[in-house]
Chain A
Amino acid sequence: MSSNGSPSQIAEGTEQAEDRQKAANAAPQLQDVLRHTCPSPAGPRVLSTFRNILDRDSCDLVWVTKEWRPQQVTLHARTRTTAKIRQDVISSPKMQHTIEQQLSSQNEVPKEALWRELNDILIEMGHTQTMPVVRWFGYVLSKIMRKIYSGVFVNEESIARLRASIGNNPVIFMPSHRSYADFLLMSYVCFHYNIMLPVIAAGMDFVSMWGVGRLLRDSGAFFIRRSFGNDKLYWAAFSEYVQTLITAGENPIEFFVEGTRSRTAKSLCPKLGLLSVALEPYLTGQVSDIVVVPINISYDRTLEETLYSYELLGVPKPKESTSGLFKALNVLDEQYGRIHIDFTEPISVNKFFGDLRSPKLMRPLHLPHQITPDESTRIIWLANYVVRQQQKNAVISLFSLAAVVITHHVLTKPRNQLLNMHQLTRQVASLKSAAESFGALIDCRDNLEVSLQNALHIHKSLIVTSKDGQVQVKNVAAAQAPIDPAKMKGHSLQDKTLQVGVPMVMLQHYVNQTLHLFICPAIVSLSVQQSINQGSGMKDDVFARYLFLRTLLSHEFILHKAWETMDFEQSIQQLQKLGVLDESLHDSMKLSLGSNSHLHQILCQLLLPFLAGYSSACSTMLEVPAGKTVSLNEALKSTQARLEKLLLSAQLNHHYSLSLDLLTAAVNSLSSMGAVIKNKENGKVLYSPNSNRLRQVTQIVGDFLQLVAPICRKSQDEQARLFITQAKARL
């Protein structure tokens, strides 16, 4: 460890430190609020409360044509037609003000043109939920789902809880977002349980797909442009549209707080824009409360798994098109296992916020609400809390645990030492109990061996077990049609890199499904080890290191600042229970490693791809000459190139470090730590190193990386031999 000050000091610029202080100050108070509002469910979650909704008494036809008498969201709700909603938006004081007072005078555009434009925007945006389409669509979906899924399991206890908490206030559903299927599933489940169907905020990408846009609209989606920067008219129209949906309270509204599908299967850091807009009617006293329902949707196997793998490595993604969709229909030949859906404890925003609306001067409703610093702190908190709730209520498949074990094996064992089914089962079993002690609900219905075999079977395109019980990874990326280098988003990776990279990234997709459980314990474990190596082991020294890593990875995982102490203490306790840390301590201020070195190793190893990627990003940025800047894309490209070299020379063996998502997070993280400086020049974002600080950070990251660096080095070629090649690549 270098002597450049404490890692935690280096982790944060002063600004961040202040923020953290603020968050910490707010923490006890909010914690208090949370305890009152969100009592944890009575007992531990169990699989037995999940019911397969595809497994129902009535046949699909009877089911989709059932009488539609949904539970109302609010008593005062009136059903409005699409035209009426549009009319309400147009005649709202806010739109009137925006167009009549603001835009027309500022831009000297004739009002009529603006009104026409508004109308067009609203037509482009508007949903047109119609029951016949929903029913018909529901029918088709039933058929498809029966074919590819072995069950859609919904936590019925959570449905009962949801039912009990709706009726008075507007409701927002916030599901996790891993797949396009999320859109359809939510409405499908609501239809099944006679809950008013959600109106769903969707990205514009769908609209261009012939037929699909219409279909989604009719099922209740409304469309928002991906970026509309300074378009005031669009912004006003969009926020008024969302807010009229909230205040009218006819349907739950649904959006993905992560902003987009997570390609990595890890939760994305929450986006605040739509959430803030949706909360405005509450903040301005137009509604007395809003009920936010975080929802977890867990897939055994993600439909888009291969696609995501390529995408993360920078291989271009085909544009959403209907023919692409039909091509994707060959997914129908595959099995995708189970889906688990859990509606988590509904959150009363009013209680969560501790009613900070309390009397302030009310501005007229046509003026945009300016979010106060206090409000903004809570919104960030809420957003993070929602994502954490989604994570906590995941159902983890055994395959994810297997993926952890297999990856660990591939990275650490010599090539002649193959993993056999017996070892895998044993290691999954011990990882399972570790995961359970971190609060996970694992999908294991039969005895472990059978369940594991079933789980592996679902993923037989990625993992195969030979007759003699050897477990191997398939090379799914073989025979890739040559990729036009110009179309690569990142560095033009060599074919041989992709050969190993694609399956490894795919495997990591499933490892990632478990990381929310392991991330804090992993960071703590690594910090303890480093601290001990440096001759300390004192709790506060460990905490300082932990803080550094946590800050470093805060764009990668949901590690909200306000929870850092809580997470730390909890992890220590859990690790002690598991024997990763020594429990029989005499000095409560000193930590030491326990007997469970295997789990310790697995945990630390989980951080490898991240530390390696971040470390390379640091090096790349360090090479930018003083006074020069690079774009994000340039930074990503050269980091990938650097990483590929390391992989080829066997200095690194985890291909997930190549992930563009990971490297983007690295750059963002360096920027918020003040190690690189973000500049905006004519609308372009450019980065330059902040040399001193960057050097310090690079050093510390490097020190951590040393600790988890390959225990057994293998070249990429060697690694490739661990794979069985497969003829057909799927994309």
Chain B
Amino acid sequence: MATDRSSFLVKQDVRLSHCSMSAESKEAPTNGDSNSFVEVYSAENNGQQFRKAVKVNLTPSAIPKRRQELLKWNGWGYEDSKFAVRKGVIWFTGNRYPIGELELPYFTQWTKDVFNVDLSKPITPQPPISKFPDPIINTDFMAEIRKCNLVISDDGMDRLFRAHGHTLHDIYILRVGMFARIPDLVIWPDSHDEVVKIVELATKYNVVIMPYGGGTSVTCANSCPEEEKRMIVSLDMSQMNRILWLDRDNLVACIEAGIIGQDLEKELKINGFTTGHEPDSHEFSSLGGWVATRASGMKKNVYGNIEDLLVHVRMVTPTGVLEKHTQGPRVSIGPDFNHVVLGSEGTLGVITEVVLKIRPLPACKKYGSIIFPDFESGVNCMREIAKKRCQPASIRLVDNEQFKFGQALKAEPSFFGHITDGFKRFYVTKMKGYNVHKMVVATLLFEGEQSTVENQEKMVYEIAHQFGGMPAGEVNGQRGYTLTFVIAYIRDLGFDFNIVAESFETSVPWDRTLSLCRNVKGRVAAECKARGILHYLMTCRVTQTYDAGSVVYFYFAFNYGDMPDPCHVYEEIEEAARNEILASGGSLSHHHGIGKVRKKWYRQQVSSQGVHLFRAIKHKLDPTNIFASGNLDSGELKAKL
């Protein structure tokens, strides 16, 4: 297959020797037309003929190889975008996002009210690091790798950048210290075949490989196990970002696993398609990462989660390539091994190519919002909407704390912004009986044919009415969604003012949704009280609906005052919260995954037999534990086998 296709591909990378990259060295299109598809016929699968559209070229990735040149080395997102304080008022820098260059007076006040912060006394993080742990070098392996004409780097900053994801712990360490272990070498493979080669060599010389996609993991999945004495290679997948072919008839596309969300959507859009997969991290996270973590996108109601979108996948393991030799839309050929790849979190092999379902771009896209008198009626309404199966592409219900927070993020007073005064406040809070300190809002995103959207809107608003909900306009809905990408930047601001913050999520049956939210908030309140934490924010939202339950997403942040190890305190509290979630009928994770932070509960969730099964798979695919990231369960694996 690979050879078939590669004959149509023009590789245009400027091969870089190690440590000599710059932003300019980004591959540029060489054949002028970056979006030309060539109609081809390829003989595959027992000679059957498929009509394919094969993409021969692609715009360069939005993310350079030297990520630190565009992205923060010790925080979230683009270097030029962040919350900052100017003359005592918070504003957002840069113009990549809708609130860029705007002053945020309400938000400024909010941070004082909720967290009691003193904006005049920021804490400065450590300057960019220049001293890194000495690399462990497997010289035989290095010798062979050098022969392979690969893009590699042992630059300290390159290595450090791939030693972490965006878990609180990761970023906290970057601001105050150093990881005990970071990758010893970074390699940027360019194709499936190169990956096969690298994995072969690593297996031969007993070198550890850790696949690295977008680095947005929030489970410490990218952390190097401290006790690992072998050389660790970080396999940065970012250069494998081509759409290999696109099949308009069957509505599928074969895509290299390193592509990040925004590039994928940009490319597909040019051709009139979308995957519809939109995790909140989609600016930076990669296709391989989604598959490896069983990611979930905001619009899954229309398009499905990653496991629904995935038709075919190739994974390179130390003992060979795992893939299905069929592309039937659904098959009954024993247990589905796609599901061994999905959620494998880099422990079994490298995902190199994925065939995904694609959809024509929607004709109509419309936002909406509904306010409810309280969280309970909001949840009941969502349950009803799910029962009737008329969910729009996305429906999210935020609790009162987040509702207020959302209001605070406005630059100018508007519909809700005025909520503290004026006519609209009167209307919403007095006439309709809404209490500003109880009311909540649901935001909606409709996508599809005009008529479908209209029907859906009608049904949704009717149901909402039964539960005391009142439509609150498109603008508010849209704001909710556009702010999504900005919210991830807030944590870095918090760090500057003694605040640590993190989110965690779960999925839960409908009848336990409310009690779970209540219990977890109660538990966190109790844990804070026990530790003398006075200023904190504990808020939740219901972000997804399923037939059988919902997804709840929590944000927790607190002012840690002069605690010596706030990160550890946070982890203790999150652990208590997770125990509460499990005891309240929630799952260990809906989409973030296990990584290292949730390993201790893995067995409880999947049973001992489940763990045995996983270990058996691991043992067969990766007998010498080349993929030694230690995610999921593998920590205990060595000892047990």
Contact = CB atoms under 8 A, between A and B. Distances in A.
A complexed with B? yes
Interface of A: 74, 76, 93, 168-169, 247, 285-289, 355, 357-359, 362, 364-365
Contact of A285 (B512, B526, B601, B605): B512
A287 B583 contact: no
Contact of A287 (B519, B525, B601): B519
Interface of B: 509, 511-512, 515-516, 518-520, 522-523, 525-526, 579-580, 582-585, 601, 604-605
A362 B516 CA distance: 13
Contact of B601 (A288, A289, A359, A364): A359
B580 A364 contact: no
A168 B529 CA distance: 11
Which 9 residue pairs across A and B have the least CB separation, nearest first?
A288-B519, A357-B583, A359-B582, A362-B585, A285-B584, A359-B604, A286-B515, A285-B583, A288-B522
A243 B424 CA distance: 40
Contacts of B511: 93, 364-365
A168 B525 contact: yes
A355 B525 CA distance: 17
Interface of B: prevailing SS: helix
Nearest to A283: B583
A359 B605 contact: yes
B519 A355 contact: no
A76 B376 CA distance: 10
Contacts of A74: 522
Contact of B522 (A168, A247, A357, A365): A168
A287 B515 contact: yes
A66 to B, nearest CB: 26
Contacts of A286: 512, 515, 519, 584
A414 B319 CA distance: 98
Contacts of B522: 74, 168-169, 287-289
B580 A288 contact: yes
B394 to A, nearest CB: 27
A247 B579 contact: no
Main secondary structure of the interface of A (DSSP, over half): loop
Given A287-B515, A365-B511, 18 more contacts: A74-B522, A93-B511, A168-B526, A285-B512, A285-B583, A285-B584, A286-B515, A286-B584, A287-B519, A287-B522, A288-B519, A288-B520, A288-B522, A288-B584, A289-B526, A359-B583, A359-B601, A364-B509
A28 to B, nearest CB: 22
Contacts of A358: 579, 582-583, 604
A603 to B, nearest CB: 42
B515 A285 contact: yes
Contacts of B585: 285, 362
30 contacts: A74-B522, A76-B518, A93-B511, A168-B522, A168-B525, A168-B526, A169-B522, A285-B519, A285-B583, A285-B584, A286-B512, A286-B519, A286-B584, A287-B515, A287-B519, A287-B522, A288-B520, A288-B522, A288-B580, A288-B584, A289-B526, A355-B579, A355-B583, A358-B579, A358-B582, A358-B604, A359-B605, A364-B509, A364-B511, A365-B511
Contacts of B601: 359
Nearest to B525: A168
Contacts of A93: 511
A591 to B, nearest CB: 43
B285 to A, nearest CB: 28
Contact of B583 (A76, A168, A169, A288): A288
A289 B521 CA distance: 12
A339 to B, nearest CB: 33
A257 B511 CA distance: 31
Nearest to A351: B526
A76 B522 CA distance: 10
A574 B467 CA distance: 65
A423 to B, nearest CB: 53
A355 B578 CA distance: 12
Contacts of A289: 522-523, 526
B323 to A, nearest CB: 34
A349 to B, nearest CB: 12
A362 B519 contact: no
Contacts of B515: 247, 285-287
A287 B519 CA distance: 6
A593 B584 CA distance: 56
Nearest to A74: B522
A287 B601 CA distance: 21
A168 B528 CA distance: 12
Contacts of B583: 285, 288, 355, 357-359
Contacts of B516: 285
Contacts of B512: 285-286, 362, 365
B578 to A, nearest CB: 10
Contacts of B526: 168-169, 288-289
Contacts of A357: 583
Contacts of A359: 582-583, 601, 604-605
A247 B519 CA distance: 11
Contact of A288 (B509, B523, B604, B605): B523
A357 B584 CA distance: 9
A286 B522 CA distance: 12
A93 B516 CA distance: 17
Nearest to A365: B511
A362 B581 CA distance: 12
A130 B523 CA distance: 32
A395 to B, nearest CB: 31
B589 to A, nearest CB: 13
Given A76-B518, A285-B585, A288-B584, A362 B579 contact: no
Contacts of A76: 518
A169 B525 CA distance: 11
Nearest to B583: A357
A355 to B, nearest CB: 6
Nearest to B576: A355
A347 B241 CA distance: 58
A546 B183 CA distance: 66
B540 to A, nearest CB: 13
A243 to B, nearest CB: 12
Contacts of A362: 509, 512, 585
Contacts of A285: 512, 515-516, 519, 583-585
